[in-house]
């Protein structure tokens, strides 16, 4: 699995958060985020985890990719 593949999955997660207002705080979202975090830690253990959070500035969930 490449970093680009995993980032696409993170982007899909972000899009899902914006598509359904109930999703971000749901049990399913927690499981999905956990799978993404586990895959990232497995394949890129020395990199900081990406994360999705609500942005007041943008009025939607955004993906952050720490460098």
12-67 residue pLDDT tens: 999 999 999 999 999 999 999 999 999 999 999 999 999 999 999 999 999 999 98
pLDDT at 26: 97
Tokens of 22: 């109930």
Residues whose CB is less than 8 angstroms from the CB of residue 16 and which lie 6 or more positions away in sequence, other chains included: 23, 29, 32
pTM exceeding the 0.75 threshold for the entire prediction: yes
pLDDT at 8: 98
Number of C-beta neighbours around residue 63 at 10 A: 17
pLDDT at 67: 84
Q: Is a pLDDT exceeding 90 seen at residue 1?
A: no
């Amino acid at each position: 699995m490449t970093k680009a593949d995993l980032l696409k999955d993170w982007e899909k997660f972000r899009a899902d958060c914006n598509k359904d207002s109930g999703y971000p705080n749901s049990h399913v979202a927690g499981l999905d985020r956990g799978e993404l975090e586990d895959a990232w830690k497995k394949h890129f253990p020395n990199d900081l985890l990406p994360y999705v959070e609500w942005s007041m500035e943008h009025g939607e969930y955004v993906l952050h990719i720490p460098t």
